[in-house]
A and B are shown apart, each in its own frame.
Chain A
Amino acid sequence: MSARRFINILVLALALASIAMAAQSPADIEHDIGNKVYCLCGCVTSLNTCPHLNCEVKAEMQKIIRADLSQGKTEPEILQDLVDRYGEKVLAAPPPHGFNLTAWILPSVGLLIGLFLAVTFVRRWLRPAVQAAALSGGAPPDESVRAAVEEEMKKYVD
């Protein structure tokens, strides 16, 4: 078998494997949807985790999902069907449009601003290195002195 042929077969096998891995059974899709929507019985948990025994609301919502699945609807279509029936509050996460976008964006913005501030502080505190050296008694200590200081600090204050 030539190397080229081997690579072709390998690529084909990987593609088939990924398709097989991506294919979900209706039960898997139902389970996924159950994690993405809330049960509206008042339990304040997802459909899959509603703690109420024989919850009628849960049963009704599951019935809708199963009916949609049997009609061959995709996951986004089923979620949209639930939103049409119950409103956006049925979704366990706010859909990323309009004002809801801020819910998704703000944590990332906060993370970036925090990173910017941390980097800014580090740079600012680093700048007067000469002053630090002067305060600590002139020239910066060499590696052996630094290592000794580190060792002492570890002993006493770590």
Chain B
Amino acid sequence: MNQIGAVGLIAALVFAIYGMITGAVAGKLRSPRILKSAQRAVLGFFAMTTLAVVSLEYLILTNDFHSAYVASHSSRELPLLYKIPVLWAGQEGSLLFWTWLLSIYVALAVLLNRKKNRQLMPYIIAICMGVGTFFSLITFAVANPFNQLSLATASGVTPYAPPDGNGLNPTLQFHSMVAHPPMLYLGYVGFAVPFAFAMSALMTRQLGDNWIRVTRRWTMVPWMFLGTGIVLGGQWAYHVLGWGGYWAWDPVENASLLPWLSGTAFLHSVMIQEKRGMLKVWNMVLIIVTFFLSIFGTFLTRSGIISSVHAFAQSNIGSWFSVFLAIIAVFSLTVLFLRLDFLKSENRLDSVISRESGFLFNNWILLAAVLAVLWGTIFPIISKAVENQTVTVGPPFFNKVMVPIGLLLLFLTGAGPLLAWRKTSFQSIKRNFVAPLIFAGIVGVILFFAGVRHLYTWMSLFLCAFVAASIIGEFYKGARTRMKSSKENFFSAVYNLTMRNTRRYGGYIVHFGIVLIFVGLAGQAFRYETQGLMGPGDILRAKNYLFRCESFTSGQRANYQYERVSLAVTDDGHALTVMRPERRFFIAEQQPLSHVALRSDLARDLYVVMAGRDPDSGKAIIHVIINPLVQWVWIGGMVVLLGTILALIPSRIERQMADMHKSHAEAAEAQHVR
């Protein structure tokens, strides 16, 4: 199977190179025959990377420790659920996985555009296959997952397999870790497609709004995956790392946030181009930046250039990525520069106070956030290069810089949809803003008297109330209009309203999800923690909760030994639950890990960690954290996901518009062919 996988990898590289060349030639010569050949190369690329992935999974599942990769990252006792993610647990496997996901995206792009966008497709294939060539090349030449272990003996080199593997990093043996990396990768990789559409539109001078309309979904899908991956990563950190938080501004976390932020700016900015024919150059810049940052994110995660708690696989692939990033930057900016004349704005702004300006300022804030996060992330490298000084840029820096930016963004999330396109009259501002502001004001006063005095926390919750009220107001106004005109009841009106314009109302739901996430983030200001040594019968108090140590137990499971303490918890004297934090010792990996005990409700999480044993008394070191509102972060993440899925569903209006555009595009294409 090792040989089959290796052959698959070489064949994938060949198909990628062939697809890149034939795609470019088909674009240049406008040859349908060569285009067909390029399309087949894409399918071949998909088939061969699939073969390589299946081969590697087979080696992992069958404990074939002849494979250096399997011996390094798996073990016999590793449960099946955690054997599957071994594929992306190490450098070599994750790069193969990246290549495979790219092949899926490109194959889908080809299959879904067999009869559409025929002028754009050759260069789209060429660019995506160019990216595929890079990833298959480094997977083949630098980080090959099909290398075999061997022993040098007197009679020559003989294959070797250790009796067991080193096992999977214990921190990766967690359920959300099974989904988190694929989600992130689907996000990173997916931005290659809208980038390719943009570059192809530039190269073919097809710079109407067609490429924007077509790529909206191709951008939303990776944006959705990336966002989901970020939330799942937060869940993993919260449950596994044992410090009671979910976001630490770690370089690898930041690397995933960067393309998500610029992608968010792009998704908002394209609306201005669709509706007003403006910001054409800017949208090109945004998609280039987003793709660049997604490769940069992969580079940061995989190169080990910056120390990170998440950098599980590091090697010397940094120079390869640096060259590739330089190629992307030079290529895309050159093509953009050469086509600047075709990207003239079709319209002008009618008023400073308009939806267009709102989007522009939203883009300003998002890009400022990108700059701040990027600068903070790479500053240690720059400081080392300039001053030869090792500095750390962690949460105190990012919290100070990013909280005001986040609050501004939250305000625009609420204010933007209340502004009308073209021009917002004073009456309109009064009509739309007064109710949300009054509601937010009431919430603000209640919060103040309830003891919320921390400025940023108060502002965050005040703005959350404002944005939530503005979103609910939009649904209410739309539903009321439908109720009057169609005699529907309120719920039918809300449903029909949403399904009639999924993009708009899906967007509002996404915004509502962001509000919920901010509510959860604000809860961190009220976090409480305490620590104590506990033996049987000992009691630890944390605010109104009492934790009474009931018993210690220990035992062994498939791949780890554990030591568990049972804590009976009371809330103001009433029995609440029994919590059982564990300390685990993973045998194959020879690593200890704490398993957090968690009791969650919408108001707060009780988060208990057994940090170890006190060497003198033998008592358990118990760390208790009361974490308010954390669940809202996860609920908000789910709401964002649902809103995005809703916005991806074509609405009736959109289908009508698509038919209209299709007939226009076909007419234009027919004219072009003539």
Known contacts A111-B405, A115-B364; A98/B387 CB under 8 A: yes
Contact of B309 with A43 in the complex, beta carbons under 8 Å: yes
A146 CB, nearest partner CB in chain B, Å: 7
Known contacts A45-B309, A158-B504; A94/B391 CB under 8 A: yes
Closest to A88 in B: B391
Closest to B613 in A: A54
List the one stretch of B19-27, B124-132, B238-246, B294-302 in contact with chain A: B238-246
Contacts of B163 in A (CB 8 A): none
Complex CA gap A118/B350 in Å reads 15
Contact of B396 with A44 in the complex, beta carbons under 8 Å: no
| Interface membership of A61, Cβ < 8 A | no
Contact of B397 with A143 in the complex, beta carbons under 8 Å: no
Contact of B250 with A94 in the complex, beta carbons under 8 Å: no
Contact of A125 with B348 in the complex, beta carbons under 8 Å: yes
Contact of A49 with B307 in the complex, beta carbons under 8 Å: no
| Interface membership of B423, Cβ < 8 A | yes
Q: Mark B547-573, 1 if CB is under 8 A from A, else 0.
A: 000000000000000000000000000
Contact of B395 with A44 in the complex, beta carbons under 8 Å: no
Contact of B347 with A100 in the complex, beta carbons under 8 Å: no
| Interface membership of B533, Cβ < 8 A | no
| Interface membership of B275, Cβ < 8 A | yes
Contact of A156 with B657 in the complex, beta carbons under 8 Å: yes
Known contacts A103-B397, A122-B349, A132-B350; A89/B375 CB under 8 A: no
Q: Mark B345-375, 1 if CB is under 8 A from A, else 0.
A: 1011111100001001101100110011001
Within 8 Å by CB of B421, from A46, A50, A92, A153, lies A153
| Interface membership of B489, Cβ < 8 A | no
Closest to B401 in A: A107
Contact of B245 with A49 in the complex, beta carbons under 8 Å: yes
Contact of A146 with B423 in the complex, beta carbons under 8 Å: yes
| B interface, size bucket | 35 or more
| Chain A CB within 10 Å, residue with most, of B171, B364, B420 | B364
Within 8 Å by CB of A111, from B240, B368, B593, lies B368
Complex CA gap A99/B391 in Å reads 11
Total number of A residues with any Cβ neighbor in B under 8 Å: 56
Q: Mark B223-247, 1 if CB is under 8 A from A, else 0.
A: 0000000000000000011111100
Complex CA gap A111/B241 in Å reads 34
A56 CB, nearest partner CB in chain B, Å: 11
Closest to B367 in A: A114
Known contacts A44-B307, A125-B278, A146-B422; A51/B393 CB under 8 A: no
Within 8 Å by CB of B392, from A92, A122, A126, lies A92
Contact of B392 with A51 in the complex, beta carbons under 8 Å: no
Within 8 Å by CB of A143, from B171, B401, B425, lies B425
Contact of B360 with A107 in the complex, beta carbons under 8 Å: no
Q: List residues of A (134-158) whose CB comes within 8 Å of B's CBs.
A: 143, 146, 149-150, 153-158
The 3 tightest CB contacts between A and B, nearest first, are A49-B243, A92-B394, A107-B372
With contacts A94-B391, A103-B379, A107-B371 known, what are 5 further pairs, Cβ within 8 A?
A89-B392, A111-B372, A121-B360, A143-B425, A157-B657
11 contacts between A and B (CB under 8 A): A38-B392, A51-B242, A51-B309, A51-B594, A54-B612, A88-B391, A92-B396, A99-B389, A118-B360, A122-B352, A150-B420
Contacts from A to B (Cβ < 8 Å): 31, 35-36, 38, 42-46, 48-51, 53-54, 87-94, 98-100, 103-104, 106-108, 110-111, 114-115, 117-118, 121-122, 125-129, 131-132, 143, 146, 149-150, 153-158
Contacts from B to A (Cβ < 8 Å): 171, 240-245, 248, 250, 274-275, 278, 307-309, 345, 347-352, 357, 360-361, 363-364, 367-368, 371-372, 375-376, 379, 383, 386-387, 389-397, 400-401, 405, 420-423, 425, 501, 503-504, 529, 583, 592-594, 611-612, 653, 657
